[in-house]
Structure 1
Amino acid sequence: MGEFHHTLDNKGRIIIPAKFRKSLGESFVITRGMDGCLFGYPMLQWEKLEAQLDKLPLTKKDARAFTRFFYSAAAEVEFDKQGRINLSASLVGFAKLTKNCVIVGVSDRIEIWDEQRWNEFSQEAEDNFEEISEKMTDFDF
């Protein structure tokens, strides 16, 4: 849980908050996420996700496209001594990351957002929070 602001350096490195590093382990997997951000999964969660993706029918075009897109950018990353990870140019480009980024803890993963995109997403979600919550049929507060 939580929201942290960090900068991406010109070599594609970003500090992952200490709070998240413990949960992520020594290495974790980062890949393209939804809504224009990156998803980072601890290895155990990644393995569970892989098991679910392996169940998708190979005969379905959408399933093949989704798994190709999801896996092709996935990379196992490790922390350096400063608690940074190195993001590939393709992941930086996908998420349109600029210098200012936001790292968010969401359930079993982290998300890395460009700060401007995060602010736009957050404002829209805040403006529509009640409407969104009413549409969630399987969730009770």
Structure 2
Amino acid sequence: MSDRFVGKYYNSIDQKNRIIVPSKHRELLKGKCFVAKGLDKCLNIYTVERWEAQMEKLDSLPQSDKRIRAFIRSLSGNAVECNIDSQGRIVITDELMEYAGITKELVTIGSNKVIEVWDRNLFTEVNENAYSEEEIAEALTGLY
């Protein structure tokens, strides 16, 4: 089994701010995860191991830089550790829901090392205004 998250899933959030983690993704999360702000007004779900690795990388950055401290503060200060319940759900805090503009309908995207959780309308809007295939190919020059 791969240790990468892939696929796109549509679901919704319930009245108790719970979302269902797709079953294929649950296998990699092993019952626990971290949820934090993503960079594109989405939420990122991390495995515990990936979260710890991310925090280690951030620890290695120069703490004398105010921008780095602000980023670390924003990321870790708003992150939550979640246990996945018996029905495959996690609870999203009001603060994280507000940040991502989540109202009801969601898109959950496997994005390599993290799972992205998007408000469905925002996801559609962002993708309609996304970069062209040529712009993406230019950014990836040398990788393929």
Same fold (TM over 0.5): yes
Is residue 75 of structure 2 the alignment partner of residue 78 of structure 1?
no
Counterpart for residue 14 of structure 2: 9
RMSD over aligned CA atoms reads 1.1
Q: Which amino acid aligns with 1:15?
A: I
Instruction: Give how far 1:136 is off.
Output: 2.5
Is residue 90 of structure 2 the alignment partner of residue 90 of structure 1?
no
Counterpart for residue 136 of structure 1: 140
Is residue 34 of structure 2 the alignment partner of residue 29 of structure 1?
yes
Deviation sequence 1:19-78 (CA, Å, 0-9, x none): 100011110111001110001110111111011010111110100110000001111101
Q: Distance in 2 between matches of 1:60 and 1:20?
A: 35
Counterpart for residue 3 of structure 2: none
Deviation sequence 1:84-109 (CA, Å, 0-9, x none): 10001000011010100000001111
Q: Distance in 2 between matches of 1:83 and 1:95?
A: 21
Q: Distance in 1 between matches of 2:86 and 2:7?
A: 23
Q: Which amino acid aligns with 2:120?
A: E
Q: Which amino acid aligns with 1:90?
A: E
Q: Which amino acid aligns with 1:137?
A: T
Q: Secondary structure at the match of 2:129?
A: helix
Matched residue pairs, number?
Answer: 139
**1:42 aligns with one of 37, 44, 47:** 47
Q: Distance in 1 between matches of 2:59 and 2:86?
A: 35
Q: Which amino acid aligns with 2:100?
A: A
Provide the TM-score with structure 2 as the length reference: 0.92
Q: Distance in 2 between matches of 1:138 and 1:103?
A: 29
Counterpart for residue 128 of structure 2: 123
Counterpart for residue 106 of structure 2: 101
Counterpart for residue 24 of structure 2: 19
Kindly, what percent of the aligned residue pairs are identical?
Answer: 36
Instruction: Give how far 1:138 is off.
Output: 4.2
